[in-house]
Structure 1
Amino acid sequence: MNYFAVFLPMKDEEKSKQYRTEHLSYLEEKVKEGKIFAKGRFVDGTGGLVIYQANRLEQVEEMVKKDPYVITGARDYEIHEWEMSR
């Protein structure tokens, strides 16, 4: 299993507020499925970060494209494979 950091930079603050509940519900569903390692917002209001767990980049991109924030244009996204070090 690989980790993928997904940056969700703010595109439209009003849409972000409007679709926040749907976005959080979607992420909670992915947490229950074991597909999210960590998630959270940036305290400066510029967006958020979700670290997905998947075998391939394509799997993550498919999930991200179903996020209500991305569907509605509230947020953009950028995916990077992430290697955790301790």
Structure 2
Amino acid sequence: MFIAILTYKKPLSEVDNYLSAHREYLAKHYAIGDFITSGPQIPRIGGVIMIKANNREAVDAIISEDPFYINGIADYQIVKFSPTMFANDSLKSFLE
């Protein structure tokens, strides 16, 4: 399991120019099953994506497709973690 923490490097006006393409990228990876949840940080300085992937190389390949990455809109901090506690069993089975 990985979390990508995005921090915008460009003004929001430029971020917004790529937002539609970024959302299409998100939709593609939700459909494939790579993404679990995502959303903007508050205040809006970037975003967060929870990624289900086997290794860091897979995460890097996924991130390399993001229009925010391709166009230098955001920096990405990738955090790998191993969930050990869950709100309920269905969430646990989904994440494993």
TM-score (norm 2): 0.82
Question: 1: CA distance between counterparts of 2:62 and 2:34?
Answer: 9
Matched residues, percent identical?
A: 26
**2:75 aligned counterpart, secondary structure:** coil
Alpha-carbon offset, residue 78 of structure 1? 1.0
1:4 — aligned with what? 2
Question: 1: CA distance between counterparts of 2:4 and 2:41?
Answer: 13
Runs (5+) with no aligned partner, structure 2: 87-96
List aligned pairs for 1:43-54, cutoff 5 A: 43-54=42-53
1:32-69 Cα shifts (integer Å, max 9, x gaps): 00000110101201100001101011100111011000
2:37 — aligned with what? 38
Moved over 6 A (4+): none
Runs (5+) with no aligned partner, structure 1: none
TM-score (norm 1): 0.91
RMSD: 1.0
2:59 — aligned with what? 60
Structure with greater contact order relative to length (CA < 8 Å, sep ≥ 6): 1
Which protein has the larger Cα radius of gyration, Structure 1 or Structure 2?
Answer: 2
Q: What count of residue pairs does the alignment treat as equivalent?
A: 84
Alpha-carbon offset, residue 14 of structure 1? 2.7
Greater shift, 76-85 or 46-55, is seen at 76-85
Counterpart AA for 2:50 = I
Counterpart AA for 1:6 = A
1:18 — aligned with what? 17
